[in-house]
Amino acid sequence: MLWKRQIPILIATVIGLLTLFGWFIDNPGIESFVNDDATQWFDILASFAIFLGALNLMKLQGKKVLKQHSGWQYSLFAIGGFIFAIVAGFIYKGNDAVSWGFHVTSKGTLFKWMFDFIFTPLSATMFALLAFFVASASYRAFRVRNLEATLLLVSGIIIMVGRVPLGSSISSWFIMYLLVLVGSIAANIKLQDKIITFGVLLGGVVIVTIWGSLAGWPVDQPSIFYLPMLQDWIYNNPNVAGARAIMIGIGLGIFATSIRYILGVEKSYIGE
Amino acid sequence: MIIGAWISVFLTLAILSYLYKDNLFYKVAEHVFVGISTGYWTSMFFWTQIQPNLFGRLWPATEYDASSLWYKFYNVFGVFSSVFPEGGIAKGHDMHLIYLVPFALGIMMLLSVSSKLSWMARWGIAYTVGMAAGLRAYGFLNSNVIGQIKGSAFQLVNSNLPYFALVGESIFNNFVILIGTITGLMYFYFSREHTGNFGRLTKVGIYFLMISFGASFGFAVMGRISLLIGRFVDLIHYSSSAYNHATLWILLIMVVLLGYSAFMDKSAPIEPPVK
Amino acid sequence: MMKYIIELILSIGKVDRRWIFLVIGLAVLLPLFFPLGLPIRATNATQRVYDAVEELEPNSKVLVSFEYGPSTKPEIHPMAIAILRHLFTNSQKVYVTCLWPDGQFMAEDALTEIAEEEYGLTYGEDYVLLGFRPGNEAVVKGLVSNIRKLYTTDARGTLVDQIPMMANVNKVKDFDFIFSASAGYPGTIEWVQYAADPTGVPMSTGTTSIQVNDVMPYVQSGQVKGILAGMPGAAEYEALIGSPGIGTSGMDAQSIAHLVIVLFIVFGNITYFIETQRAKKY
């Protein structure tokens, strides 16, 4: 029990306190440990964690094949892919001009070939699939149920259209007419009076038309209705405010959680 | 090169075929991806971290001494000459035997594959957690909290700035950012009920947060569509005659096979329930 | 008539999602074959990056860092190439590092295409590929204190002391400008926190669209001079330097796809609205 519980918590506490106070202590030995060695050890252990993950994965896939669970044939492909990558990484270089170690970042090797023609298409396409699911979600799930959802969708739409070349081709007068239309629909829903609705619509159209003809229909004036400008303002101001609030919140949260780990209050990493 | 192009096109189309329905091609590509990426990252991390930084510090070439016991060990491993080359590992490090500690923790982590010894990983994980907690606590407090608060502060009365400008700095814009940041932070304070005046301020806060999320959504869509464009550009490139029209042939074969399997599924008789 | 239209709208609202996939697929594919040539107008953030690079004196030392991989290549590679073109046109000296291992592959592709083939420059005198070093922010910190401790050789195995353009370049403060083409961690934020802020060297960045909001507070406060946001940002930069590339050719597809998604959102909400009105009635 000592080995399984007390010692890990002790390790976390000691190392945590050392690295935290290492920022403030002037001792050169501790400083060099915190600045250089501590991060190196962290990266080394992270690498071993990757190896552990790989071993576990192969153990699972191997079990599936040996016990012939459903879909075991696909596991053969997983194991085959892993073996091919290991061969390219450790056994067959494919380019004798390059030394071991450099071969993972040099051209002309089997590893680079695997990276270009197998790993890259697979990982890029997996990400690209999300484009389709985003489109499907936009259609079937994003509903304007309340003011918050409306703000989210409207700012999303303005950013999406304003950021691409299409947005700069849409005249601000078009947006103004659109707003008049939306305003009259809203008036219709709220007041349920055909005369008022029609009045709002007609009045809005007349005002915009007169204003536009006087101004000469410039594409980007009045700039508050020109999508790229509006998008820029939203992007630089309320958006930054929200992003900043989230950043500060996350920073405080990380600080609090780190202190909990160091003090041994949080023990989830050993499974409790 | 051409074989590579055909394999690349097959894998791309196999993943995209998931959009029609979960099928054999997708499952094959998915499992290949799992295997290859595991192997890829294993090789990558070994050659860029473990071999130069760990082994390179335990058995550096600069202190190679064939007669010492420590290097005799090394020469035993030298049978794997790719990892342990003649004369020590030359990566510009000096010997730091203290690195035996992460080596031991790492081996303990690997041993935890066996279910009896699975507790061994906890030591390595505890070290990682402790270290990350110590380093990140200071780093995040400094840059994310203090740095951001510093950035939000501004001169209320600054004659250089215009009162309102759509693009660029202005007093109104700075004010908007300040109000938005403060009310947004207020929203995250859950130790007090959001009622009354406090509730009104947190409502303003959540409006700012929603605008921010909407902008993030817009950017997320933008990013995903860009990735899709990248894939399509590659597929179009591989459909040219230099690659023997790889895209067109593989697309045709997949459509025929998937269409056939869909037809067979539809016309298969419904099995009677087991009595 | 009205009733018929409403019924039609409701039935389209319940359509199988695979039709939606097909529509978005075509919306992206067709403009790649039939480009529309919509004019590209640079936003403020992109303009700031361009101005920051344009202001540099010729023969300035510029550190360009590649931290992206193949999954984000369509977004970031065009902007890396555009930045390299701009820097080489203005006769700047370019030093390339990579915080991601796959970033080195991307850097080699970009440098071969632009520096070697297009501009015919000399390796070691006009540009150098220092390469990838593991360690994430420790690499950035190492560059700030002593480059030669981290890089004894460049990516091709040549000793750094023997490279002509590395003379008198010992730490980040010796550079005149930093540009980070980044897709995540480690990336722009690490460069700002550990290099640009402490040393005061001006820096700019290009990131994926998803990361933009994380970096925006730094851009807004002036710690980062402008930002190239995703593929549209790359296309805007290409328009500013006057050499359209991969970014520009994707823009039409991007525009149409965005328009289609906006129409989906609007249409979906019209359907939802009609359904709630009906539910209220009955």
Enter the ipTM: 0.84
- How would DSSP label each residue in A100-158? TTGGGSSTTSHHHHHIIIIIHHHHHHHHHHHHHHHHHHHHHT----SHHHHHHHHHHHH
Least confident of B19-28, C154-163, C169-178: C154-163
* Predicted confidence (pLDDT) at residue A102 exceeds the cutoff of 90: no
- β-strand C177-182 against C127-132: which pairing, if any? unpaired
Total domains present in chain A:
2
Residue A84 falls inside a structural domain: yes
Least confident of B266-275, C46-55, C133-142: B266-275
Given a contact cutoff of 8 angstroms between Cβ atoms, the answer to whether A9 and B129 are in contact is no
Among residues of chain B, what percentage have pLDDT more than 90? 18
- From B92, B148, B219, residue closest to C152, measured CB to CB: B92
A135: closest CA of chain C, how far (Å): 6
- Where in chain B are the domains? 26-95, 100-153
Within 235-254 of A, beta carbons closer than 8 Å to C belong to: 235-236, 239-240, 243-244, 247
Backbone φ and ψ for C126, nearest 5 degrees, come out as -105, -30
**Token code pair at residue A217:** 């229909």
The more confidently predicted of residues C91 and C159 is C91
pLDDT at position A92 is 83
d(CA C82, CA C242): 10
pLDDT tens digits for range C38-65: 888 888 889 999 999 999 999 999 999 9
The mean per-residue pLDDT over the stretch A125-152 comes to 87
pLDDT at position A165 is 87
- From C21, C32, C220, residue closest to B236, measured CB to CB: C32
Given a contact cutoff of 8 angstroms between Cβ atoms, the answer to whether A55 and A77 are in contact is no
d(CA A46, CA B100): 16
Contact C25 A132 (CB under 8 A): yes
pLDDT at position A1 is 67
pLDDT at position B275 is 55
Given a contact cutoff of 8 angstroms between Cβ atoms, the answer to whether A247 and C189 are in contact is no
Under the banding of pLDDT at 50, 70 and 90, the label for residue C217 is confident
Least confident of A256-270, B50-64, B153-167, C266-280: B153-167
First to last CA, chain B: 58
* Predicted confidence (pLDDT) at residue B269 exceeds the cutoff of 70: no
C133 touches chain A (CB under 8 A): no
pLDDT tens digits for range B194-249: 888 888 999 999 999 999 999 999 998 888 899 899 889 888 888 888 888 888 88
d(CA A213, CA B230): 43
pLDDT at position B45 is 87
**Mean per-residue pLDDT over chain C, rounded:** 88
pLDDT tens digits for range A17-31: 888 887 788 888 877
Contact A169 C69 (CB under 8 A): no
**Mean per-residue pLDDT over chain A, rounded:** 85
Range of the domain at A114: 99-141
Contact C32 B212 (CB under 8 A): no
d(CA A240, CA A255): 22
Instruction: State which amino acid sits at residue A103.
Output: H
Q: Same domain for A86 and A103?
A: no
* Residue B53 CB contacts under 8 Å (≥ 6 apart), including other chains: A40, A43, A44, B91, B93, C134
Which chain C residues are closer than 8 Å to B219 by Cβ? 209-210, 212-213, 229-230
- Where in chain C are the domains? 2-34+253-281, 44-244
C235 touches chain A (CB under 8 A): yes
- From C134, C223, C253, residue closest to B48, measured CB to CB: C134
Interface mutation target, options A223, A226, A258, chain B, most CBs of B under 10 Å: A258
CA distances in angstroms from C119 to A43, C89, C152, listed in the order given: 39, 9, 28
d(CA C82, CA A52): 41
pLDDT at position C26 is 92
- From C33, C208, C223, residue closest to B223, measured CB to CB: C208
Q: Same domain for A39 and A55?
A: yes
B137 touches chain A (CB under 8 A): yes
* Predicted confidence (pLDDT) at residue C236 exceeds the cutoff of 70: yes
Interface mutation target, options B50, B226, B251, B255, chain C, most CBs of C under 10 Å: B226
In chain A, which residue's Cα lies nearest the Cα of C222?
A236
Q: In the CATH scheme, what is the homologous superfamily, with its name and number, of domain C44-244?
A: MTH777-like (3.40.50.10160)
A115 touches chain C (CB under 8 A): yes
Within 36-65 of A, beta carbons closer than 8 Å to C belong to: 36, 39-40, 43
Given a contact cutoff of 8 angstroms between Cβ atoms, the answer to whether A245 and B188 are in contact is yes
How many Cα atoms sit within 13 Å of A98 on the Cβ side? 20
With vertex at residue C198, the alpha carbon angle to CA C193 and CA C204, rounded to the nearest 5 degrees, is: 60
Contact B224 A242 (CB under 8 A): no
Under the banding of pLDDT at 50, 70 and 90, the label for residue C96 is very high
The mean per-residue pLDDT over the stretch C88-104 comes to 92
B198: closest CA of chain A, how far (Å): 17
Residue A227 falls inside a structural domain: no
CA distances in angstroms from A143 to B208, C272, C276, listed in the order given: 19, 7, 11
d(CA C109, CA C104): 9
Within 49-68 of B, beta carbons closer than 8 Å to A belong to: 49-54
* Predicted confidence (pLDDT) at residue C182 exceeds the cutoff of 90: yes
Chain A / chain C CB contacts < 8 angstroms: 141
Contact A22 B128 (CB under 8 A): no
The more confidently predicted of residues C37 and A85 is A85
* Predicted confidence (pLDDT) at residue A229 exceeds the cutoff of 60: yes
Give strand ranges (E) for C152-277. 177-182, 203-207, 227-229
pLDDT at position B92 is 66
* Residue B129 CB contacts under 8 Å (≥ 6 apart), including other chains: A12, A16, A261, A269
**Mean per-residue pLDDT over chain B, rounded:** 83
**Token code pair at residue C158:** 């040549």
The mean per-residue pLDDT over the stretch A152-176 comes to 87
The mean per-residue pLDDT over the stretch C154-164 comes to 85
In chain B, which residue's Cα lies nearest the Cα of C251?
B226
pLDDT at position A191 is 80
* Residue A29 CB contacts under 8 Å (≥ 6 apart), including other chains: none
Residue keyed to tokens 């550190």:
C63
Given a contact cutoff of 8 angstroms between Cβ atoms, the answer to whether B137 and A259 are in contact is yes
Backbone φ and ψ for A269, nearest 5 degrees, come out as -75, -15
Q: Same domain for A87 and A104?
A: no
Among candidates B43, A102, A114, B85, which has minimal Cα distance to C132?
Answer: A102
Within 146-205 of A, beta carbons closer than 8 Å to C belong to: 153, 157, 160-161, 163-169
Which chain A residues are closer than 8 Å to B170 by Cβ? none
The mean per-residue pLDDT over the stretch A73-77 comes to 92
Contact C20 A136 (CB under 8 A): yes
* Residue B237 CB contacts under 8 Å (≥ 6 apart), including other chains: none
pLDDT at position B271 is 57
pLDDT at position C177 is 95
pLDDT at position B166 is 67
The more confidently predicted of residues B270 and B89 is B89
Q: Same domain for A45 and A12?
A: yes
pLDDT at position B176 is 87
Instruction: Give strand pairing partners of C61.
Output: C93
Among candidates C28, C83, C72, C42, which has minimal Cα distance to C210?
Answer: C72
The mean per-residue pLDDT over the stretch B83-94 comes to 72
Give the number of other Cβ atoms within 10 Å of residue A23's Cβ. Answer: 15
d(CA C172, CA C147): 8
Instruction: State which amino acid sits at residue C262.
Output: V
The DSSP output letter for C95 is E
Chain A / chain B CB contacts < 8 angstroms: 422
For residue A122, the Cα-to-chain-centroid distance in whole angstroms is 19
pLDDT at position B167 is 66
Residue A225 falls inside a structural domain: no
Evaluated on CA atoms B49, B50, B53, B54, the torsion sign reads positive
* Predicted confidence (pLDDT) at residue B122 exceeds the cutoff of 70: yes
In chain B, which residue's Cα lies nearest the Cα of A49?
B109
Among A3-12, A140-149, C144-153, C222-231, name the most confident range: C222-231
In chain A, which residue's Cα lies nearest the Cα of B185?
A245
pLDDT at position B157 is 62
- β-strand C203-207 against C227-229: which pairing, if any? parallel
A140 touches chain C (CB under 8 A): yes
Among residues of chain A, what percentage have pLDDT more than 70? 99
For residue A224, the Cα-to-chain-centroid distance in whole angstroms is 30
With vertex at residue A216, the alpha carbon angle to CA A211 and CA A217, rounded to the nearest 5 degrees, is: 75
